[in-house]
Amino acid sequence: MQPSILSRVLALTLMTVTVQPVFATTDIINSGSTNTQMNASINANTELKRLISWAIEHDAGIQQIHYQADALQDMGVATSQWMDPKLKVGVGGLPVDSFAFDDDPMTNISVGLMQQFGRGNTLDLKQKQSDQQANSIREKADIRDLELENAITTQWNELVFQQNVYGLLQKNQTLFRELEHYLSTNYGVGSNQTQDIIQAQLQISLIDDKLQANQQMQQKIKAQLSEWIGDNAFTMQANNYPSWVVLNDYLSTSTGASSSITSEDNYQALVSHPSIRMSDLLIKSSETGIDIANEAYLPEFGVEVMYGYRQANGMGGQPASDLMSVYLTMDIPLFTEKRQDKKLSSAQHQLGAAKSQRDLLLQQMNAKINALTVDRYNLEQRIERYQDSLLKRAKEKTRAIERGYQNNTSQLDEYIRAASDELTLAIEQERLQADLEKTNSGLAYLLNKF
C-alpha cells in the first residue's frame, strides 16, 4: 500500500476510535468545546424533563395512589360520625285478657329515639388518623414521581450510550470498507494480499454483527421506555447525557475538600425524601392511635327519649295523660386489663415499629448513598485515566504499527488488532460514562436532587 493512501485510511481509524463522549456531569471537559457541550446538555435536560412530565401526567400508578388516598380519607370522614339514631316503637302495659288499648290506664303506645355518642374524642381522633394515613399514601405519589424520573433517566442514558457506540462502530466500519476496497483494487493476487483482503472483510462482517446487536439493544430500550412515555419513546431524540446542576451543587457544597459526603449531610437531605416523609406521617398516625387507645378508658354515653300515648281514662274518670321518658346510658370500663390495656399496649408497639422502620429506612438509604458516592468518585477517576493515559497509549501503539506496516515490518492483522483495541477502549470509556450517569441518577433519586 502506498504510504499516502495508508496514512489517509489509518488516520480515519485514529479519528474514529478516539471520539470523546460528552461529559455533562464531571469536570473532565475539553475547554475548546465546553459551550457546545453545555448547550447540548441543556437541550437534553429540556427534552428529558418534557418526557418525564408527560409520563407523570399520564401515569396510571399515580392515579391509583390518589384514588386510594381519597378513598381512605372519605372512609375516615364516615367512621368519625355519630352512629345513626335508632327508632323504637312498641306497646306497653297491654292487658292480655282483652288486648284493648283503652281498658287499662297503664297501656300506652310508645315511640322513642336512641342516640349513641362517641367515646371521648375518639371520633375526631379517628378522622385525624385517617387523614394522616391518607397523606402518607399521597407521599407514595411523590415516590412514584421520583421512581419515574430515575427509571426514564436511566434508560435515556443507556440509549445515549448505545447511540454513541453505534456512531463509533459505523465510523470504524467505514474505515475498513475503504481499506478493503483499496486492497481489492490495487493489490495483485497473492497469498499475503488475499489474506489482507479477507482479514478486512472479516472485520467488516464482525462490525455488521455488532451494529445489529446495538440496534437491537436500542429498540429494546425504547420498548421499555414506552411503558412510561408511550409512543414518545419511538420519536424521542436522546443525543446527549443530561446535566446534574442541582445534584452537583449539593455534592460540591456538602463535600467541600473531601471526596464524600458525611452521614449527617445525608440524613439532613433524606428527611425531605418522600419515603421518609411517608414514614413520619405513619409515626404520627401511630401516635394518634395511642391517643385513641387512651380514650377507651373513658365512658361512652347514649341518650334515649320515649313518648307514650294512652287512650284509657285515669282513676278519676278523666283521660289519662301521655307519658314522657328520658334515659341516659353510660358504659363503665371497669375491667380494662385484657381490653383497654392490651389495645394501648398494641398501639405503643405499633409506634415503636413505625419509628424503627423509619430508622432502618434511613440507614439503608444512607448506605446506598455512600456506596453510590464511592462509585461516582472512582468512575470519575477511571474516566480521567482513560482520557489522559489509556487512549493515548493505544493511539501511540496504533501509529507505531502503522509505521511498521508501511515499512513492511508489521502485518495488517497486527494493525487491525491495534485499531480494534483502541476502539474497545473508546467503547469502554463510553461505558464508564454511562455508568457514571446511572450513578448520578441513583444519587438524585435518593437525595431528591433531580
User: Is the separation of the CB atoms in 119 and 299 below 8 Å?
Assistant: yes
pLDDT tens column, 261-307: 667 778 888 999 999 999 999 999 999 999 999 999 999 999 999 99
415 pLDDT exceeds 90? no
Phi/psi of residue 162, nearest 5 degrees: -60, -40
The mean per-residue pLDDT over the stretch 390-411 comes to 85
Nearest to 205 by CA among 172, 166, 182: 172
- DSSP, collapsed to helix, strand or coil, labels residue 307 as strand
Domain covering 55-298+305-447 assigned CATH 1.20.1600.10 in the classification = yes
Burial class (CB in 10 A: 0-12, 13-18, 19+), 194: middle
pLDDT band (50, 70, 90) for residue 39: low
Which amino acid belongs to residue 440?
A: N
One-letter amino acid at 215 equals Q
Task: Indicate the pLDDT class of residue 36, thresholds 50, 70 and 90.
Answer: low
Residue 89, SS3? strand
pLDDT of residue 292: 96
CB 59 within 8 A of CB 277: no
Backbone φ, ψ for residue 328 (5° rounding): -115, 120
Question: 362-392: buried (b, 16+ CB within 10 Å) or exposed (e) per residue?
Answer: beebbeebeebbebbeebbebbeebbeebbe
- Give bridge partners of residue 87 from the DSSP assignment: 113
**Between residues 8 and 167, the one the model is more confident about:** 167
Give me 19's grid cell. Answer: 471520539
Q: How far apart are CA 30 and CA 251, in angstroms?
A: 22
Q: To which residue does cell 488475499 refer?
A: 194
Q: Does residue 200 surpass a pLDDT of 90?
A: no
Share of the chain above pLDDT 70, in %: 87
Beta strands in 310-399 (DSSP E): 323-330
Query: Could you give the C-alpha distances from 280 to 72, 270, 352, in angstroms and in order?
Result: 18, 12, 12
